[in-house]
Structure 1
Amino acid sequence: MKNVLLLKAGEAAASVRLSVGDYDRWFLQTLGLSGYRFDILHAHQGAKLPGDATGYDAVMMTGSPLSVTRLEPWMERAAALMVDAAERNIPVLGVCFGHQLLAHAYGGCVVRNPLGREIGTVQVELTPSGQADPLFQGMPSSVAVQATHEDIVPEPPEGTVVLAGNANTAVQALAFRPCSRGVQFHPEVQPDAMRALIQARAERLEAEATARGVPPGERVPRLLAGITPTPYGRQILVNFLEYFT
Structure 2
Amino acid sequence: MTASLTKPLLILKVGSTHPHIAAELQDFEHWIQAGLQDPALPVTVVDPRAGQALPAQADIAGVVVTGSHSMVSDREPWSEAAAAWLRDAVAAEVPVLGICYGHQLLAHALGGKVGYHPQGIELGTVPVSLHDAAQDDPLFAGLPTQFDAQAAHRQSVRRLPDGATLLAGNDFEPHHAFRFGSRAWGVQFHPEFGEAATRAYLATLNDDAPEGAVRPTDVAASVLPRFASIVRG
* Preserved contact between residue 137 and residue 239 of structure 1 (Cα < 8 Å): no
Q: Secondary structure at the match of 1:111?
A: strand
Q: 1:28 aligns with which of 24, 33, 47?
A: 33
Question: What per-residue deviation string (whole Å, max 9, x for no partner) do you get for residues 22-76 of structure 1?
Answer: 11111112223423111001122221112x2212111110000000010111111
Question: What per-residue deviation string (whole Å, max 9, x for no partner) do you get for residues 170-200 of structure 1?
Answer: 1111111211110001001111111111111
Q: 2:192 aligns with which of 188, 192, 203?
A: 188
Matched positions, count: 227
- The offset of 1:165, in angstroms, is 0.5
Whether 1:54 and 2:27 are equivalent positions in the alignment is no
Whether 1:112 and 2:116 are equivalent positions in the alignment is yes
Whether 1:238 and 2:225 are equivalent positions in the alignment is yes
Q: Secondary structure at the match of 1:221?
A: coil
Q: Give 2:215's aligned amino acid.
A: T
The percent of aligned pairs where both chains have the same amino acid is 36
Q: 1:154 aligns with which of 150, 153, 158?
A: 158
Tell me how far apart the structure 1 counterparts of residues 140 and 223 of structure 2 sit (CA, whole Å).
6
Moved over 3 A (4+): none
Q: 2:209 aligns with which of 221, 237, 241?
A: 221
Aligned pairs for 1:1-245 (under 5 A) are: 1-2=4-5, 3-50=8-55, 52-202=56-206, 205=207, 220-222=208-210, 225-243=212-230, 245=233
- The offset of 1:116, in angstroms, is 1.6
Q: Secondary structure at the match of 2:113?
A: coil
Tell me how far apart the structure 1 counterparts of residues 219 and 12 of structure 2 sit (CA, whole Å).
22
Tell me how far apart the structure 2 counterparts of residues 13 and 31 of structure 1 sit (CA, whole Å).
22
Q: Give 2:22's aligned amino acid.
A: R
Tell me how far apart the structure 2 counterparts of residues 15 and 200 of structure 1 sit (CA, whole Å).
9
* Preserved contact between residue 111 and residue 161 of structure 2 (Cα < 8 Å): yes
Tell me how far apart the structure 1 counterparts of residues 148 and 117 of structure 2 sit (CA, whole Å).
20
Tell me how far apart the structure 2 counterparts of residues 5 and 229 of structure 1 sit (CA, whole Å).
27
Q: Secondary structure at the match of 1:153?
A: strand
* Preserved contact between residue 5 and residue 60 of structure 1 (Cα < 8 Å): yes
Tell me how far apart the structure 2 counterparts of residues 167 and 102 of structure 1 sit (CA, whole Å).
22
Tell me how far apart the structure 1 counterparts of residues 201 and 50 of structure 2 sit (CA, whole Å).
22
Tell me how far apart the structure 1 counterparts of residues 135 and 146 of structure 2 sit (CA, whole Å).
10
